[in-house]
Amino acid sequence: MNSQAQPWVEEQDAIQQLALEECVKRQRVEHDVRVLILPAGRCRLAGRFAQLGARVTVADEPSQQQEIENRILAAGLQGTIRFAPAQSPSPPEEGDEVRYDIIVLRRGLCHLPYAQGKEKIRQLMKKLRIGGKLYISILGLHSELGEGYAGREQSIYERFARLAPPLADKYGIAEPVCLYSERDLFLLLLESGASVLRTLTTTWGNVKGVAVRV
């Protein structure tokens, strides 16, 4: 899929900036901030966290490991960024003692029905330290993707359908998806046991949220 056709590419700045600001605040006090990013993408966000002094884990499919590690090496950040195999949005399989201060879920949740998405959020919340924060981005029901979407009138508990064919072709999303409203995202985080700090809808219609483990 062409990166220019991905509906989330231009929409990461708002939530990522909040996560970076949180890293700065924590680094001033704790000096040992741990960050998990799923999926890794091109590791640009990971590099920004590393420049702030955080220890960063990027999680992605095992088939991406060599390419991602080459990017980390080329950036000279192999000491502060590490790769962990995972099927996003699932967290990597690590020992229970591994906990993070910040987790950024960039995408992937929409490819699961709501109930499964809720379970993934619960898994991610367990990977946070007490007081740690989850930053999440989800494709929006009221974005362009919602035009002609077969699940538009269904409740979030039942909504899992294919995009309208022209949009499925445009964005290369052939499989069913669960699109979210801002209210749906708030409900997802709440029902997953998280304390919701903030939700927002971008100008493109996608939704984002920040939750804390208490």
Structure-token pair, residue 170: 């445009």
Q: Residues 6 or more apart from 25 whose CB is under 8 A from it? A: none
pLDDT tens, residue by residue, 80-135: 999 999 988 999 988 878 899 999 999 999 999 999 999 999 999 999 999 999 99
User: pTM of the prediction?
Assistant: 0.92
pLDDT higher than 60, residue 44: yes
Structure-token pair, residue 157: 């508990």
pLDDT higher than 70, residue 10: no
Q: Is the four-CA dihedral 45, 47, 49, 55 of positive or negative sign?
A: positive
Q: How much is the average pLDDT of 196-202?
A: 95
For the chain, list the domains and their CATH numbers. 3-212 (3.40.50.150)
Distance between CA atoms of 140 and 155, rounded to whole angstroms? 14
